[in-house]
């Protein structure tokens, strides 16, 4: 995510740190480079100009230039300005105090509306709400079937009538939600390859009939300034209340994310960060700004960890580590939990100070998959006690996992070293009587 922009800004600030005391000329040179980096990242020209002007105004003051760490002060000013540009505060979805909350998802065809309708439904379901998905796209072949498959996958019902008009479907869904107690009604509306009058007229009719509390525009972050232009038109015609940026994990530049809030005045509420139905994150401006500047994102990492681990399992794992009963089977379970958090390189980048190291090390998830295959090729007894692994067993495991015997030997050796290290720590942490 934003790799090109992050690398560029990182190099600029690294040179800034090496200068010691700063002059106004130094700050001007840095800001000129930052402006070029933003424009190369496809940030809106006027947004980039305003951003640099706001930084310059704060960075040339005496308290910055005469401080003991002027470079750090400038970097902090840039981070604060990035947070403001991205929206300052997270903007959660609003819900009606009583009755069902109508939420329209709008956007061009191919932006990911149907998939993100299901992602949002799963997100609301995890919050304890009862969502209902509504198939209002009666034009695109298989659109209704796609939503029904996704709904079945996440355990959320889908309201669909293929022989009715979208407005009638939406009105019927709201009535159904009111009678059966659904808390959120998500309308997956039709899109077009480009904006046209027929599309806008239909969306305006849907809005008038259902009076949605939220109208969320779904746009592809990788389309850069085109996403910003689309957002402006939809806001003018329909009046959007928020934005869902899809494919943000694959956007190495970040032009749409950095421009869309400033141009439209509408907050980004969610970010799609993967293809899986659970790959949706609330949009936190401060966290994203820190990630862009290579400062990590520990809060998101902690939240991801809490979603995967419960307190009981954590205590059980701690006990095994303390008593040196941690086995390869336990290691395999932990490895799979970590993989569920996403690519390992992305996880490491959330840890402050490890972002650049993770990039330089070129963490390969295929190596993690190879380790998993090796352990899966072992019998339960071999996982519990690797000491029984003689030469013939190791050859069998290598054949079964598609690895080399040297790979098996390396894994067993590293695991034994880890157990020895845990044993040493266990002795130090055990209180003496």
Convert the pLDDT of each residue in 23-66 to its tens digit: 788 888 888 998 998 998 888 899 999 999 988 888 877 666 66
Q: For residues 79 and 109, state if they share a domain.
A: no
**What is the rounded distance in angstroms from the CA atom of residue 373 to the CA atom of residue 378?**
9
Q: Give residue 174's pLDDT band: very low, low, confident or very high (50, 70, 90).
A: very high
Range of the domain at 113: 101-291
The reply to whether 56 falls in a domain is yes
Helix ranges restricted to H, 155-224: 166-180, 197-210
The reply to whether 266 falls in a domain is yes
Q: For residues 82 and 106, state if they share a domain.
A: no
- How many C-beta atoms lie closer than 10 Å to residue 296's C-beta? 19
The reply to whether 197 falls in a domain is yes
Convert the pLDDT of each residue in 124-143 to its tens digit: 999 999 999 999 999 888 89
Predicted pLDDT of residue 393: 94
Percent of the chain scoring above 70 in pLDDT:
82
Q: What is the CATH number of the domain that holds 14?
A: 1.20.120.140
**Count of domains observed in the chain:** 3
Q: What is the pTM of this model?
A: 0.71
Q: For residues 371 and 407, state if they share a domain.
A: yes
CB 349 within 8 A of CB 355: yes
More confidently predicted of 347 and 176 = 176
Angle formed at CA 225 by CA 224 and CA 226, multiple of 5 degrees: 90
The reply to whether 95 falls in a domain is no
Give the three-state DSSP class for 331. helix
Q: For residues 269 and 385, state if they share a domain.
A: no
Residue at a domain's end among 86, 111, 143: 86
Q: For residues 147 and 264, state if they share a domain.
A: yes
In the predicted structure, residue 252 carries a pLDDT above the cut 80: no
Q: What is the CATH number of the domain that holds 331?
A: 1.10.260.30
More confidently predicted of 72 and 267 = 267
Please state whether 88 falls in left (phi above 0), alpha (psi between -120 and 50) or beta.
Answer: left
Q: For residues 286 and 306, state if they share a domain.
A: no
Predicted pLDDT of residue 395: 94
The reply to whether 264 falls in a domain is yes
Predicted pLDDT of residue 239: 93
Q: What is the CATH number of the domain that holds 281?
A: 3.40.50.300
The reply to whether 322 falls in a domain is yes
**Integer distance in angstroms from the first to the last C-alpha of the chain?**
51
Q: Residue 43: which of 74, 85, 11, 84 has the closest Cα?
A: 85
The reply to whether 416 falls in a domain is yes
Q: Give residue 433's pLDDT band: very low, low, confident or very high (50, 70, 90).
A: very low
Q: For residues 15 and 123, state if they share a domain.
A: no
Give the three-state DSSP class for 422. helix
Q: For residues 213 and 341, state if they share a domain.
A: no
Convert the pLDDT of each residue in 311-343 to its tens digit: 666 667 667 666 667 788 888 887 777 776 666
**What is the rounded distance in angstroms from the CA atom of residue 277 to the CA atom of residue 80?**
32
In the predicted structure, residue 150 carries a pLDDT above the cut 80: yes
Percent of the chain scoring above 90 in pLDDT:
36
CB 87 within 8 A of CB 246: no
In the predicted structure, residue 310 carries a pLDDT above the cut 80: no
Q: For residues 31 and 128, state if they share a domain.
A: no
369 Cβ contact list (under 8 Å, min separation 6) = none
Residue at a domain's end among 291, 323, 356: 291
Burial class of residue 48 (count of CB atoms within 10 Å of its CB; 0-12, 13-18, 19+): buried
The reply to whether 91 falls in a domain is no
Predicted pLDDT of residue 429: 45
Residue at a domain's end among 86, 118, 138: 86
Q: For residues 275 and 339, state if they share a domain.
A: no
Q: Which residues of 129-153 are buried (b: 16+ CB within 10 A; e: fewer)?
A: ebbbbbbbbbeeeebbebbbebbee
Strand order in the sheet with 280-282: 158-159, 131-135, 184-188, 101-106, 214-220, 242-246, 268-272, 280-282
Mean pLDDT of the region 276-281? 87
Q: For residues 45 and 186, state if they share a domain.
A: no
Q: For residues 173 and 74, state if they share a domain.
A: no
């Amino acid at each position: 995510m934003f790799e090109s922009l992050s690398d560029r800004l990182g190099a600029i600030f690294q040179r800034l740190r090496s200068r010691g005391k700063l002059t106004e000329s130094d700050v001007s040179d840095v800001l000129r480079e930052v402006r070029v980096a933003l424009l190369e990242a496809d940030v809106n020209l006027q947004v980039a100009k305003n951003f640099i002007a706001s930084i310059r105004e704060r960075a040339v003051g005496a308290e910055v230039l005469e401080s003991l760490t002027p470079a750090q002060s400038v970097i902090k000013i840039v981070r604060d300005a990035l947070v403001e540009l991205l929206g300052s505060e997270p903007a959660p979805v609003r819900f009606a105090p009583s009755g069902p909350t109508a939420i329209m998802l709008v956007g061009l065809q191919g932006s990911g509306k149907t998939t993100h309708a299901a992602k949002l439904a799963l997100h609301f379901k995890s919050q304890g709400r009862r969502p209902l998905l509504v198939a209002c796209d009666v034009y695109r072949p298989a659109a209704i079937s796609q939503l029904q498959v996704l709904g079945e996958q996440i355990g959320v019902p889908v309201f669909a009538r293929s022989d009715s008009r979208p407005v009638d479907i939406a009105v019927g869904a709201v009535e159904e939600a009111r009678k059966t107690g659904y808390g959120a009604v998500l309308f997956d509306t039709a899109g077009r390859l480009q904006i046209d009058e027929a599309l806008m007229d239909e969306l305006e009719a849907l809005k008038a009939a259902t009076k949605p509390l939220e109208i969320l525009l779904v746009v592809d972050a990788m389309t850069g300034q085109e996403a910003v232009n689309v957002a402006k038109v939809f806001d003018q015609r329909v009046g959007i209340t928020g934005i869902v940026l899809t494919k943000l994990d694959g956007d190495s530049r970040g032009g749409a994310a950095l421009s869309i809030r400033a141009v439209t005045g509408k907050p980004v509420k969610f970010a799609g960060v993967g293809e899986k139905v659970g790959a949706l994150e609330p949009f936190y401006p401060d966290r994203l700004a820190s990630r862009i500047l290579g400062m990590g994102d520990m809060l998101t990492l902690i939240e991801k960890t809490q979603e995967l681990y419960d307190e009981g399992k954590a205590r059980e794992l701690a006990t095994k580590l303390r008593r040196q009963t941690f086995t390869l089977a336990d290691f395999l379970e932990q490895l799979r939990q970590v993989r569920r958090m996403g690519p390992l390189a992305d996880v490491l980048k959330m840890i402050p100070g490890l972002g650049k190291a993770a990039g330089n090390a070129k963490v390969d998830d295929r190596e993690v998959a190879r380790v998993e295959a090796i352990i899966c090729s072992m019998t339960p007894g071999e996982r519990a006690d690797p000491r029984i692994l003689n030469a013939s067993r190791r050859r069998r495991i290598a054949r079964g996992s598609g690895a080399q015997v040297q790979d098996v030997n390396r894994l067993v050796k590293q695991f034994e070293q880890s157990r020895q290290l845990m044993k040493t720590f266990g002795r130090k942490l055990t209180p003496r009587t």
